[in-house]
Amino acid sequence: MTSNKKLLAWVEEWVALCQPASVYWVDGSAEENQRLMDEMVASGMATKLNEEKQPGSYAFNSDPSDVARVENRTYICTENEGDAGPTNNWMAPSEMKAILREKYRGCMKGRTMYVIPFSMGPLGSNIAKIGIEITDSAYVVVNMRIMTRMGKAVLDILGEGDFIPCVHSVGSPLAEGQQDSKWPCAPIEEKYISHFPETAEIWSFGSGYGGNALLGKKCLALRIASYMAKQEGWMAEHMLIMGITNPKGVKKYIAAAFPSACGKTNLAMLIPTIPGWKVETVGDDIAWMKFGADGQLYAINPEAGFFGVAPFTSMATNPNAMISTKANTVFTNVGITPDGDIWWEGIGHDCPEGTITWKNKVYDPASGEPVAHPNARFSAPAMQCPAIDADWENPAGVPISAFLFGGRRPSTVPLVYQSLNWNHGVFMGSVVGSEVTAAAIGLKAGVRRDPFAMLPFCGYHMGDYFQHWINIGKNAPDATKLPKIFNVNWFRKSDSGKWLWPGFGENMRVLEWIFNACDNAVETIETPIGKVPNKKDINLAGIEEVAADMDELLAVEKSKWLDECALIEEHYANFGERIPAELVAEFEALKARLA
């Protein structure tokens, strides 16, 4: 399939080490996909869903130990420990490679090694990056087919060119005649999700789930790409990209960084509840951005699919996601009803009797155990989204007018506020906090700092990453064209623990204010933390009952923000000397405004 010497030699080297029973070059065809699905159904790993309800769709249940990203087993391996920074696990590249070579030795015995050529970004685009993933998981192959552009066409474009080598094994070799488990993986302490940003390599071992195994996504498009972006002066961010058109037909694109399971997919696919507005989806998780010749920042979505949180996705909360998953979709860790349909908590109707849970048990309401795992996911082709933007595959990207930051904050943080300027906006991004979610294993409950929603995804020192954001503003070809920066919080709660803001489609009311604020077409009220709306400018037509909560939703309480400053102090202390002077100045200015 290829005559690329580096590629052939690299595959040969890994075949010798991993000792698979066979090697298979993935071509990306529909026939191949069907064959792999059929094989996985036959082996018991996959369930074919009801062809009428979910055509071409399959469900998988993972091992109970392998249900999400594993941050404590994720490593950034730079020559100098200091360059990985305080927010990453570190090991020297040579040490990590020595450990992993022993783990990889014979790790694919009894299995097929699949070679997956893939492109992050539209095929042949000069922004796109080509990776080759070798894996012993057919589940990874069928998911990579949805989430990336993959197969023979990528090899044709690669030619004799360079690629990012990505090694993956579930770390569970099969002895002669041994019966395979339904979801092979290695125990948690043997998992390693390792990155070598300085040589642009990824070595992942022991997990078959999501970001641990689909190496184009978090490993390449965020951790490796963020390092490249720093070197080359562009941006790789954990951001959705959406187009918003107002009733006059004016369109703007915005990008938003929220931590994992904090609402990117939902916002990207929002259906406006106020008349005349339109939202279109470019991406729901990752944005790569560069300045164009016109001085504007342009974004592409490097992915080709959505790997979205299933629970609480419904026709009421996110119809476009539900429709996107109506065919050709892979579901992981959801419930399967007796008639071969899917079910999860919050899907919008009661769980049918006899539904099989993600743990392969018959659903028992008395057990108190959920049907779907809280981090159950769907993998759906982006082009199936009814609101996919006409320019979602434009290699030149879409022009970005605003950045949004946000997280799950039950108190303190208002519904929306705007930064005073670029550096202040960077400060806002650097102190993003959120209650933790089920998207990663083993995190302590409560609010944690997740700067720019990149805490688990930054491939280098977080202080240097902050500086990169400052420099983007400083070196912008035209400062007047920089995106405006906002913070949003859909998750503020009342004292009795109820959401104060209805969220989902109603978030359009906040986007309307942001859209107008981008044109300086709306009044803003300066507070110590930034500019908040005049509450009369948030359109509540049709949800008048929310009016009673607006003061609380927009409140900036001094005592809460003084507490917040103490937490920011602790957070910033982690970065020592590498915190940019500009951010220290912003923090001092905030404290002065609060005093």
Q: What is the DSSP string of 210-253?
A: HHHH-TIIIIIIIIIHHHHHHHHT-EEES-EEEEEE-TTS-EEE
Binds ligand SPV (CB under 6 A): choice among 45, 69, 482, 564:
69
Asked if 191 is part of the footprint of ligand SPV (rule: CB under 6 A), the reply reads: no
Query: Residue 45 is encoded by which pair of tokens?
Result: 């790993």
Asked if 226 is part of the footprint of ligand SPV (rule: CB under 6 A), the reply reads: no
- Give the nearest distance from C-beta 225 to ligand GTP in angstroms: 16
Q: What is the DSSP string of 405-471?
A: EE---SSSS-SEEE-SSHHHHHHHHHT-EEE--TTBTTPPSSEEE-GGG-TTT-SS-HHHHHHHHHH
Closer to ligand SPV by Cβ: residue 234 or 306: 306
130 to 169, contacts with ligand SPV by CB under 6 A?
Answer: none
Contact positions vs ligand GTP (CB under 6 A): 258, 260-266, 284-285, 308-309, 311-313, 317, 439, 490-491, 499, 503-504, 507
Closer to Mn ion by Cβ: residue 260 or 296: 260
Binds ligand SPV (CB under 6 A): choice among 2, 137, 260, 318:
260
- Give the nearest distance from C-beta 254 to ligand GTP in angstroms: 15
- Give the nearest distance from C-beta 222 to ligand SPV in angstroms: 9
If contact means CB under 5 to 8 A according to the sort of partner, which of Mn ion, ligand SPV, ligand GTP, none does residue 422 touch? none
Please give the biggest Cα pair distance in the chain: 72
305 to 364, contacts with ligand SPV by CB under 6 A?
Answer: 307
Distance of alpha carbon 96 from alpha carbon 94, whole angstroms: 6
273 to 292, contacts with ligand SPV by CB under 6 A?
Answer: 285
If contact means CB under 5 to 8 A according to the sort of partner, which of ligand GTP, Mn ion, ligand SPV, none does residue 217 touch? ligand SPV
Asked if 564 is part of the footprint of Mn ion (rule: CB under 5 A), the reply reads: no
How many residues bind ligand SPV (CB under 6 A)? The answer is 9
Asked if 206 is part of the footprint of ligand SPV (rule: CB under 6 A), the reply reads: no
CA-nearest of 434, 454, 571, 408 to 71 is 454
Distance of alpha carbon 185 from alpha carbon 207, whole angstroms: 5
Asked if 71 is part of the footprint of Mn ion (rule: CB under 5 A), the reply reads: no
- 484-488 and 416-418 strand pairing: antiparallel
- Give the nearest distance from C-beta 421 to ligand GTP in angstroms: 27
Distance of alpha carbon 523 from alpha carbon 533, whole angstroms: 7
Stretch that binds ligand SPV, among 1-9, 71-79, 211-219, 566-574 (CB under 6 A): 211-219
Closer to ligand SPV by Cβ: residue 69 or 484: 69
Closer to ligand GTP by Cβ: residue 491 or 575: 491
Closer to ligand GTP by Cβ: residue 240 or 583: 240
CA-nearest of 372, 210, 222 to 302 is 222
Closer to ligand SPV by Cβ: residue 285 or 391: 285
Phi, psi at residue 281, to the nearest 5°?
-100, 130
Distance of alpha carbon 533 from alpha carbon 521, whole angstroms: 12
Binds Mn ion (CB under 5 A): choice among 133, 285, 389, 450:
285
By CB atoms closer than 10 A (0-12, 13-18, 19+), residue 421 is middle
Distance of alpha carbon 456 from alpha carbon 445, whole angstroms: 16
- Give the nearest distance from C-beta 67 to ligand GTP in angstroms: 13
Stretch that binds Mn ion, among 21-29, 277-285, 522-530, 576-584 (CB under 5 A): 277-285
Chain-centre distance for alpha carbon 22: 33
- Give the nearest distance from C-beta 182 to ligand GTP in angstroms: 24
- Residue linked to tokens 């609380």: 552
- Give the nearest distance from C-beta 263 to ligand GTP in angstroms: 3
- Give the nearest distance from C-beta 318 to ligand GTP in angstroms: 7
DSSP for residue 126: T
Closer to Mn ion by Cβ: residue 69 or 484: 69
Closer to ligand SPV by Cβ: residue 202 or 500: 202
Stretch that binds ligand SPV, among 89-97, 199-207, 209-217, 491-499 (CB under 6 A): 209-217
Closer to ligand GTP by Cβ: residue 109 or 493: 493
If contact means CB under 5 to 8 A according to the sort of partner, which of ligand SPV, ligand GTP, Mn ion, none does residue 210 touch? ligand SPV
Residue 277: what residue type? W
CB 210 within 8 A of CB 377: yes
If contact means CB under 5 to 8 A according to the sort of partner, which of ligand GTP, Mn ion, ligand SPV, none does residue 122 touch? none
Distance of alpha carbon 17 from alpha carbon 563, whole angstroms: 54
CA-nearest of 54, 81, 215 to 137 is 215
Distance of alpha carbon 517 from alpha carbon 523, whole angstroms: 8
Name the residues annotated as catalytic.
262
What is the dihedral sign for C-alpha 350, 354, 355, 359? positive
If contact means CB under 5 to 8 A according to the sort of partner, which of ligand SPV, Mn ion, ligand GTP, none does residue 211 touch? ligand SPV
If contact means CB under 5 to 8 A according to the sort of partner, which of Mn ion, ligand SPV, ligand GTP, none does residue 355 touch? none
Phi, psi at residue 335, to the nearest 5°?
-85, 155
- Give the nearest distance from C-beta 268 to ligand SPV in angstroms: 12
Asked if 284 is part of the footprint of Mn ion (rule: CB under 5 A), the reply reads: no
- Give the nearest distance from C-beta 241 to Mn ion in angstroms: 13
- Give the nearest distance from C-beta 210 to ligand GTP in angstroms: 9
Q: How many CB atoms lie within 10 A of CB 527?
A: 17
Which strand (E) or helix (H) includes residue 274?
A: none
Give the CB-side neighbour count of residue 280, counting CA atoms within 13 A.
15
Closer to ligand SPV by Cβ: residue 264 or 531: 264
If contact means CB under 5 to 8 A according to the sort of partner, which of ligand SPV, Mn ion, ligand GTP, none does residue 499 touch? ligand GTP
Distance of alpha carbon 595 from alpha carbon 593, whole angstroms: 6
CB 170 within 8 A of CB 206: yes
CB 208 within 8 A of CB 139: yes
Distance of alpha carbon 262 from alpha carbon 240, whole angstroms: 11
Residue nearest to ligand GTP (CB): 503
Which residues make up the interface to Mn ion (CB under 5 A)? 260, 285
Which residues make up the interface to ligand SPV (CB under 6 A)? 69, 210-211, 217-218, 260, 285, 307, 439
